[in-house]
Amino acid sequence: METQSLGIGHFIGQADGVAHFLLGFLLLMSIASWYLIVSKSIRNAIERRRSTQFLDFFWNAKDLIEVQERVVREHPEEPFSHLAHHAIFAREHHARFGVSRLEDAGSAAEFLTRTIRKVIDEETAKVENGLTILASVGSTAPFLGLFGTVWGIYHALVAIGMSGSGSLDKVAGPVGESLIMTAVGLAVAIPAVLGYNFLVRSNRVLLARLDTFAHDLYAFLTTGTQFAATPVVRAVNKGA
């Protein structure tokens, strides 16, 4: 009957403070990793849909003035319209004020290049936010589980030695229960690793598309037809 009572509940009830701490910490790691996986997947899906809509509008716009009016009016949040907004504003700013600060030094093309690079760096940091946590969970959770198993086996063998009974049923039960910690560590690590790989792949595709769009946008703004600031942009420039 004692052997039949062995299991996860029995292990948790008999575990000491170290085992309870490891289980709690692994639980927190699992919650954090699943939150990041679900939230970032949903956010990426929403931004991918919005980006597709903006790119469809951009390539079907009759000129850059139409794009300029929309990105200034709608205060874009997704990467492509955000890049277009800052690039167009940078061109207008340099044409309007010239080199008034050290930040504005260089030609209009150089200033535009720095602005585009800055926006891409910001978007890269945004999409990679939280991936370090997933990578850390995926790499450390199995070792925490293994440590919990070793700790449990040590205490089980010490208790068996003190009781003076070394029969198979007395050894196999506590040692088998200790392996639960390894299983918990793997259960936490595997989703984190899979989620990390999925998000890294998704981010790599997004940033590659953003980089290609940045080159096209730069070409339009540096070699395309010059256009005057619209009233909306003038209001923004005055506010700045």
pLDDT single digits (tens) 181-235: 888 999 999 999 999 999 999 999 999 999 999 988 888 887 754 444 444 333 4
- Residue 96, both tokens: 């309007």
- Start-to-end CA distance of the chain, whole Å, equals 77
Most confident of 1-10, 44-53, 61-70, 75-84: 44-53
pLDDT single digits (tens) 10-59: 566 666 777 788 888 999 999 999 999 999 999 999 988 988 888 888 88
Please give the Cα distance from 141 to 232 (Å, whole number): 53
- Whether 58 and 84 have beta carbons less than 8 Å apart is answered as yes
pLDDT single digits (tens) 169-188: 556 666 777 788 888 999 99
Please give the Cα distance from 35 to 72 (Å, whole number): 33
Proportion of the chain above pLDDT 90, given as a percent: 26
Q: pTM of the full predicted structure?
A: 0.75
Task: Give the pLDDT score at 82.
Answer: 86
Helical spans, DSSP H, in the chain: 8-14, 17-60, 64-74, 79-97, 108-128, 131-163, 168-223, 231-239
Task: Give the pLDDT score at 188.
Answer: 95
Q: What is the largest CA-CA distance in the chain?
A: 92
Q: Which residues contact 153 (CB under 8 A, 6 or more apart)?
A: 174, 175, 178
- Whether 61 and 67 have beta carbons less than 8 Å apart is answered as yes
- Residue 2, both tokens: 């004692």
Q: Within 10 Å of residue 134's Cβ, how many Cβ atoms? A: 25
